[in-house]
Amino acid sequence: MTLTALLALLSHWRRKPGQLATLIIGLGLATALWTSVQAINAEARASYGEASAAMGAGRLTRLHAGEAGIPVEQWALLRRDGWAASPLIEGDLEVGGGVFGLTGIDPLSTRSEGGNLAPGDQIIGLEFLTQPGLLLVAPEDVESLTGTGLPPVLASANVTPGQILTDIAVAARLLGREGVIDAILIDDSARPGRTPLEQLVPTLEQSDGAAANDIAQLTGSFHLNLTAFGFLSFAVGLFIVYAAIGLAFEQRRASLRTLRALGTPVSSIVIALLIEALVLALIAGALGVVLGYLVASTLLPGVAATLRGLYGAAVSGELAIRPQWWLSGFAIAVFGALSATAVSIRQAAVLPLLAAAQPRAWAIASSRRYIQQAVFAFALLALAALIPVFFSGMLAGFAMLGGLFVGAALLLPPGLALVLNLAQRCMKGPVSEWFLADTRQQLPGLSLALMALMFALAANVGVGTMVSSFRLTFVGWLDQRLAAELYVSASDEAQSQELYAWLDARSDAVLPIWSANSTIAGQPGEVFGIVDHSTYRDHWPLLAAAPNAWDAVAAGEGVMINEQTWRRLNLSLGDPITLADTSALPLVAVYSDYGNPNAQAIIGLDPLVERYGERVANLRYGVRLPPEDVPALMRELEARFDLPEFGLIDQAGIKAFSLSIFDRTFTVTGALNVLTLSVAAFAMFASLVTLASMRLPQLAPVWAIGLSRGQLARLEMLRAGILALLTWLIAVPTGLVLAWALLAIVNVEAFGWRLPMHVFPGDWLRLLGLAVLAALIAALLPARSLVKRPPRDFLQVFAQER
Amino acid sequence: MLLRVEDLEKSYGHGPQSQSVLRGVSLELEAGESLAITGESGSGKSTLLHLIGLLDQPDAGAIRIAGEAVTALDDSGRARWRRERIGLVFQQFNLVPSLTVAGNLALQARLAKQHDPAWIQTLAERLGLTEYLQRYPEQLSGGQQQRVAVGRALAIRPVLLLADEPTGNLDEATSEDVLELMLELCRDADTALVMATHSTHAAGRLTRHAHLTRGQLT
Amino acid sequence: MPMFCLSLMLAVTAVLSPVHAQGFAGLGVEAEGFAVPERGTRFDFPEDHGAHPPYRIEWWYLTAVMEDAEGRVYGAQWTLFRSALAPHSGEGWETPQLWMGHAAVTTPQAHYSAERLARGGFGIAGADPHPFQAYIDEWSMRSAAERIAPDGDALDALDLTARGEDFAYDLALTAQGPLIFHGEDGFSVKSASGQASYYYSQPFYTLSGTLQLPDGPVSVSGEAWLDREYSSQPLSENQLGWDWVSFHLDSGEKLMGFQLRQSDGSVYTAASWITPQGEVTAYEDGDLTLTALETHEVAGRTIPTRWRVELAERDLDVEINAVNPQSWMETSVAYWEGPVIITGSHGGRGYLEMTGYGEE
């Protein structure tokens, strides 16, 4: 019985393969976006997990000295004492215009005791240790590093894009280091040496490596962000599924009624519908998981770059197939199909045996429903508005966004109906009246697709505003923060002094940029010492400051910290801040410090030297001079001093570099945005195509009394464009609220800084153009087929039993 | 001569599947005349009417209405003709579901820029539709819907009213009613009527008769 | 960035194993540019106690069989391997000289092992002749000059120390006889096709010292045997692995013997019989026979832990039994190595080393 019912239901799809395709593609796309986000998250989490497993329970201690580096003998001393100590050489390598982070390791030092290798990872042979060496790079970097005169390159999934991992001998050669290394890693979980570190290497400074858990916590908010995006995409895709399944039900109403009339029990029909939904979900789910894998593989390198750029978390650029995400892809596909079918099943269960063909008193019934829907929507919006008043934190932010989005989506159809009503009153003329009435009648059929479009547009406006605001702020901040025209690093202390004297005579001002690694209010970070100079007073971006903050800092009576530390520790001006083991200073100001995951503080230069003594890295200077004199001074410096690589950087260089990192960071967001918009356009297309097949009875009478097919087709296009415009009108404010929530709530949680919001009406107009274009493209095919439609098709409407 | 139809031929489909529907049909009609075309299902009545109504194009032959060779017109020219000069009443689904009765009544006239509210008012009264003007087609009975269709078609005072089984879906009493109104209004508006019907009773009410058998007039 | 360090650790894990696999165990490779042992070469001590960078591989390999006050038997091993990627010393990071240390302590119940790796060039690992010391990290084998007669050899007295996660030892060794040379005055042929190594030993050590075990320190005394070997192509391609023994017989005589197992199922054997005075008789292929009598499941492999060893020319027909059948070295290149008890025509104690038994 059930089988018969199922076969009868399935026969519908044979007649409407296009509708079946729409349904499967829609559900597949929704699943794909969801799956890709899940896959990216799973990959990142797995990377953190592996990292944490590799470390065992312990932590890595990092030993370092100032910028001069550590004499290699110190490392030998540690090893001969029995410490599990591994040397590192780190630097930036300029290759064909790009800059790569180069890290040299000694593979023979990294393991303390035998027997705990992961044999699956045996990918590198002896070439790593033998001349000319081997550079391990992310797969996407292979091309740009091949044929550059560097040692051979090998792709490795374990290396982050933009990084090169190689043997320490190769690194020393490429970076020109002799007898000096940059850091020593000590594995605390392995055996200790016989002598305490403080005694054995007193000049080296220790800093704890961040535990993997901290990274997981830190990046948690970022992943929540991605997940929210995944949900959004899925919601957009779900609209397609709802629309397609609802349509299929409408069209099969007659079949269902016949089945019932023939004595098929309701339970059989319900089971048949469920089986059908499951089968569709599995097919679409498989499609979606494969698509999602492709999308995620494409996006993952960008995400890896973001995570590294923002948090220093290393995530592999290569995607592994993990059950977490493909199972979740299938689960969400089944959930989507079943929830969309639930409505049909409910209707099928109560379907009267003998109902009139299609008793739909459009206008009247809809008005009442629109009012109810609008009331509900406003209630949701009000609730969303209240959430930030009473709750704080990331979850509250997302709850608010959820309420906002659902509310705005629900408001869309009543809003559109209202606009059409008003227009009907103002516009006279038979064609426009008919057009508006007809548009209004089509609203229920199109509203799901329009909601999807609204979601996508609002997300676009919101995320776009967020990223652009961030960028604008960031650029402004760079201008303030990088006030000096030239930055110079000396290779040792003697040169540093010589450099200072030399520069002092040739510039407006030389500002030492000295720093020391230190804990700041218990957080690992860096303390900078500055001289009292108008450059800082005029330019430094302060978010909050006590009166005379600069005087206090200069006098050694105050400290400034960066915004993220301030927010993280919930500090107020005047709170005492402990710097390493030295006495506490009152907090006198907070400055913005984008892109830095760690704590940072500023005190006077003299207090810095007093407090940290030998540990101060005292080799860097900022130089103030007229910008046009920079190139000449740089040439002179290069000729006069043997500066270390990258010892000489002009302001423009840093800015360009910083912005390139920034832009890479938000590539993923942009990509997801475009994908969501495409899915929404597809939803619109699918709805229009299916509606087109049902709309002949509405068009035939108008055609018969004298509107040509061409006119009708143009009107169809016009309608799609107008609906897109109206949807955009609702999407823009929704998107702006979204942007506000992202900047003021989500960003603070995720990154630790709050950003001022800037609006970009030009972008909205561009988006309007895009939305209308998408709608027109979506409407083009149905409109074209309308023009081509033979008159006989129209005429059959008047003669045939429907 | 209001309407002259010469050697109309029409077939549907291609090649061996092709089905010849009209095979050389010719007829003439003077202004104010009414012609009933009878015939069995599939005899080509509707097709003939559609061709005369410029809804479709003949394969061969010519149609002249009020002296103009309308078969030579392009798609938009034919649409204009339909809009301005021809009234159409079909068996069903004549009306635009998204417009009210009033909207439907006035639609064609307004499209043709021949809107005459007084005449439409008259039509509504004579068709007994005044109390339903703000209703939607779905809320009307079949007979009421057909009356709206008749009113809509006559609102432009067409030279020619084409009715294809206008009472085919109605019961006997209602049919009689609608038919009577239609004939009456055509007379008053001096509109020629061509009606396709399988009902000999209905055909008997018209002045001239023609019978179609397998695509040819007899 | 600290997190990057983590990824380093991961990547390094990926790098490591094959280094060993090819550098220390992939011994079939023809030596490109490396020096090759030649028949009739005279040793020059103490220089030759130190490293020989022109040769591809080299080791300082000491095994000790000991007992505590209660008569419980212990074994200890200390090995420093040198593996050269190129036949020169090189400087700093560029040195092609790689070093690996293995240390182990075997008790009847447990086997502890440890491994260290380092590249040469920074004084972390090496073997110097003046004064003699072989070392890696805090492990070392040093000539104890204060216990050596003025005209004695640098290896006559040694201090030996090593440490792992759960064990450590400090041992003082004193030679009771002269250095002995295997094969033809130290030119030891390793296959029918002529592969050979320089190979000499000091088998006459007595020792005393302390083992640090998880249950506490144990004072021990016993005998030890030092092998020195260097070469550039020790195994021919068809050789799968070896079974090697060193015997301290109750009679004061010593025996070194080995068989190289070949892929066609045949073996190549060699042996040195050493009198208490240090006179050596070298035996050629076929004179010594080793017959496996009993196997154990060790680390997923089937490994013979009881052998019959026969050398007819010396009326030797003994059985050797592992003190601890699970004497498995959990090192990058894993192998079996542990003390054995000798019974039969002769009594005594010794060491057994077996390599090349594959995982099943």
What's the per-residue H, E or C state across A476-488? Answer: HHHHHHCCCCEEE
In angstroms, rounded to a whole number, what is the distance separating the alpha carbons of residues C139 and C103? 9
- Helices A212-261 and A266-311 meet at what angle, rounded to 10? 160
Highest mean pLDDT among A408-412, C28-32, C61-65: C61-65
Select the residue of B80, B90, B96 nearest A798 (Cβ to Cβ).
Answer: B90
Domains of chain B with bracketed CATH: 32-56+79-211 (3.40.50.300)
Beta carbons of C119 and A108 less than 8 Å apart? yes
Residue with tokens 């059985």: C319
Residue A296 has a pLDDT of 83
Element (H, E) at A11: helix A2-15
CA distance A77 to A63: 13
Q: Per the CB < 8 Å rule, is A433 touching B97? A: no
What sign results for the dihedral spanned by CA atoms A105, A107, A112, A117? positive
| Strands (E) located in A138-191 | 153-155, 163-167, 180-181, 183-187
C19/A126 touch (CB, cutoff 8 Å), yes or no? yes
Does an interface of 3+ CB pairs under 8 Å exist between C and B? Answer: no
Count of domains observed in chain C:
1
Q: Enter the DSSP assignment of A742.
A: I
pLDDT of residue C175: 93
Q: Tell me how long chain B is.
A: 218
Cβ contacts (< 8 Å) between A190 and chain C: which residues?
A: 165
Write the residue in C23, C138, C163 that is nearest to A80 by C-beta.
Answer: C138
C163:A312 CB<8 A:
no
What number of residues does chain C have? 360
CA distance A125 to chain C (A): 5
**Residue C50 pLDDT exceeds 90:** yes
Those residues with Cβ within 8 angstroms of residue C25's Cβ, 6 or more apart along the chain or in another chain: C333
What is the number of residues in chain A? 802
- CB count within 10 Å of CB A558 equals 26
Looking at the partner chain, which of A106, A111, A156 has a beta carbon nearest the beta carbon of C119? Answer: A106
Q: Give domain status of residue C8, yes or no.
A: no
Give the per-residue pLDDT at A64: 78
Distances C218 to A183, C73, C109, C171, C343 between C-alpha atoms, Å: 39, 11, 15, 11, 26
What span, in angstroms and rounded, lies between the C-alpha atoms of A409 and A738?
Answer: 13
Could you tell me the sign of the dihedral formed by the alpha carbons of C123, C129, C132, C136, in that order?
positive
Instruction: Kindly tell me the sign of the dihedral angle through the C-alpha atoms of A8, A13, A14, A15.
Output: positive
**Cα A20 versus chain centre, distance:** 33
Q: Give the residue among B106, B180, B109 at the shortest CA–CA distance from B143.
A: B180
| Average pLDDT of the segment spanning C192-196 | 74
Cβ-defined contact of A798 to B103 (cutoff 8 Å):
no
pLDDT at C140: 94
- Of residues C235 and A276, which shows the higher confidence score? A276
Q: How confident is the model at residue C281 (pLDDT cuts 50, 70, 90)?
A: very high
Contact between A488 and A171 under an 8 Å Cβ cutoff? The reply is no
Do A34 and A324 meet the contact criterion of CB atoms below 8 Å apart?
Answer: no
Distance CA A577, CA A566 (A): 10
Touching A: C residues 52-111, CB under 8 Å: 85-86, 92-94, 96, 98
CB B142 within 8 A of CB B169: yes
- Domain presence at residue C261: yes
C242 has pLDDT over 70: yes
Could you tell me where the DSSP H helices lie in A312-429?
Answer: 323-349, 362-390, 394-426
The answer, for B108 touching chain A at a CB cutoff of 8 Å, is yes
**CATH code of C310's domain:** 2.40.370.10
Specify the pLDDT at position C359: 64
Cβ–Cβ contact A105 with C under 8 A: yes
The pTM score is 0.57
> What one-letter code names the amino acid at A744?
A
Residue bearing the bigger pLDDT, A485 or C209: C209
Please check whether residue C16 lies inside any domain of the structure: no
Q: Is residue C36 part of a domain?
A: no
The residue ranking higher by pLDDT, C18 or A14, is A14
Provide the terminal-to-terminal Cα distance of chain C, rounded to the nearest Å: 43
Residue A656 sits at the vertex; the CA angle it makes with A655 and A658, to the nearest 5 degrees, is 65
Residues in chain C within 8 Å Cβ distance of A169: 92-94
Helical packing angle, A667-694 and A266-311, nearest 10°:
160
What average pLDDT values come out for chain A (802 residues) when binned by 10 residues? 76 78 82 82 69 47 77 90 86 76 80 32 57 79 80 76 82 87 76 78 69 50 64 69 73 75 78 88 90 84 66 64 81 84 76 50 60 90 85 74 85 89 84 86 79 83 79 75 80 84 87 83 83 82 85 89 84 87 87 75 88 81 86 85 73 72 66 76 76 78 85 90 90 88 74 76 87 87 86 76 38
Centre a 10 Å sphere on the Cβ of residue B80 and count the other Cβ atoms it contains: 17
The token duo for B85 is 């000069």
Picking from B91, B107, B136, the nearest residue to A705 by CB comes out as B107
Q: Among candidates B165, B211, B154, B142, which has minimal Cα distance to B188?
A: B154
Dmax (CA) of chain B: 54
pLDDT of residue C2: 19
Q: Of A433, A438, A705, which has the smallest distance from its Cβ to B83's Cβ?
A: A705
Distances (CA, A) of A238 to A324, A455, A683, C322: 21, 12, 9, 70
Question: B13 to chain A: nearest residue by CA?
Answer: A792
Q: Which of C17, C19, C138 sits opposite A194 (nearest CB)?
A: C138
Determine, yes or no, domain membership for C146.
yes
The number of helices, as runs of H, and strands, as runs of E, in chain C is 1, 23
Taking the C-alpha atoms of residue B63 and residue B78, their distance in angstroms, rounded to an integer, is: 12
Per-residue model confidence (pLDDT) at position C231: 87
Question: For every residue of A531-597, which 3-state class applies, written as one string?
Answer: CCCHHHHHHCCEEEECCCHHHHHHCCCCEEEEHHHHHHHCCCCCCEECECCCCCEEEEEEECCCCCC
CB atoms within 10 A of CB B14: 7
Q: What is the pLDDT of residue B66?
A: 85
Average pLDDT over residues B16-38: 86
Q: Is the pLDDT of residue C224 over 90?
A: yes
* Chains in contact with B, where contact requires at least 3 CB pairs less than 8 Å apart: A
CA geometry: angle at C323 spanning C321 and C329, to 5°?
110
Mean pLDDT of C177-205: 86
pLDDT at C48 over 70: yes
For residue C72, the enclosing domain spans 46-354
Q: What is the predicted pLDDT for the residue at C138?
A: 92
pLDDT attached to residue A471 = 76
- Measured between alpha carbons, how far is A562 from A753 in angstroms, rounded to an integer? 9
Q: What is the pLDDT of residue C325?
A: 92
Cis peptide upstream of residue C131 (ω within 30 degrees of 0):
yes
Distance in angstroms (rounded) separating the CA atoms of residues A482 and A484: 6
> What's phi and psi for C327, nearest 5 deg?
-80, 65
In a domain, C33, yes or no: no
Q: State which residue of chain C sits closest to A73, comparing Cα positions.
A: C122
Residues contacting residue A703 through CB under 8 Å, at least 6 positions apart? A709, A712, A794, B79
Q: Which of A741, A582, A576 is nearest to A228 (CA)?
A: A741
B31 pairs with which residues across the strands?
Answer: none
- Chains touching chain A through at least 3 C-beta pairs below 8 angstroms are B, C
